[in-house]
Amino acid sequence: MCRIVAYLGEREIPLSSVVLEPKHSLLVQSYAPEEMMSGVVNADGFGAGWYVPEVDGEPAVYRSNAPIWADRSFASIAPKVSSAIVLAAIRSATPGLPAEESGVPPFSSGPFLFAHNGAIKDFRATAMRPLRDLLSDESYSGLLGVADSETVFALLLDGLRGGKVLPGDAETLAEATAETVRRVSTLCTKLGVYASLNIGVTDGRAMVFTRYSTEGPGNSLYLIEDGGASPDALIIASERLDGDPGWRPVPDRSVLAVGPGGVVTMSSL
């Protein structure tokens, strides 16, 4: 399992303000998570991605296979780097998968950033080969490791290429993400394999999240709009970052899409 946080706002904020500084930040969740369905810590790496539109449309990404609490370089950089869109995550590696940087979220390709909170059970022995057989040559050749998350992202990239999604097109991004979840879920169900698929993806303007599992409730996911610590912004997180009463749970088996200007839509999966 992993823990994710995403920020989309009208103003730029330092990375540290959503990753390190809140009372229940990703840093705290790395050693003291409160709502994880499996595992007890998130010590198998972390990463943060952000956008600098005045430079180009592709995100900058910082990833490490070390625990977030052990990375002094990120702690020194995070207060000095600001962005209006941030996607960050800490990792607890899926059992059976190596704890190496190739499996650390967020993943990136072109303008897209992607993170996955969840797991496909016994991935390498069950769903890995069938899912990777579905990939285009382009997506397959881009794989760096054996993580279930990277494979799901590759499948989503194929859907996005086919749909020719335009920057900021939250509806098309949501449709492609939902279809990817359905394809993975259908295959895993046929194999009798449990899959939890809380997914976050952004193109630097729009952002989409899913909360989904093939059996039972999905991993926790929360949303806050215009919170006390984040006015004129939206934050999505696996666990609430603070005690603000504005946090509300994202419904199970749903897709959350956020377009430019902070327009939020919710649909069922």
CATH of the domain at 168: 3.60.20.10
CA nearest 63: which of 180, 144, 155, 168? 144
CA nearest 116: which of 77, 144, 157, 147? 147
3-state secondary structure of 6: strand
| Domain enclosing residue 25, as ranges | 2-268
Tens place of pLDDT for every residue, the chain, 269 residues? Answer: 689 999 999 899 999 999 999 999 999 999 999 998 777 888 889 999 999 999 999 999 999 999 999 999 999 999 999 999 999 999 987 666 666 678 899 999 999 999 999 999 999 999 999 999 999 999 999 999 889 999 999 999 999 987 677 889 999 999 999 999 999 999 999 999 999 999 999 999 999 999 999 998 889 999 999 998 889 999 999 999 999 999 999 999 999 999 987 778 888 88
Domains contained in the chain, number: 1
188 is catalytic: no
Q: What's the pTM value of the predicted model, to 2 decimals?
A: 0.95
The CA distances from residue 55 to 43, 60, 83, 191, in Å, are 32, 10, 12, 45
Query: Which residue of the set 1, 2, 147, 207 is catalytic?
Result: 2
What is the Cα–Cα distance from 241 to 164, expressed in whole angstroms? Answer: 35
What is the Cα–Cα distance from 221 to 21, expressed in whole angstroms? Answer: 20
What is the Cα–Cα distance from 247 to 224, expressed in whole angstroms? Answer: 5
In single-letter form, the type of residue at position 41 comes to V
The CA distances from residue 88 to 1, 29, 85, 161, 245, in Å, are 14, 12, 10, 24, 23
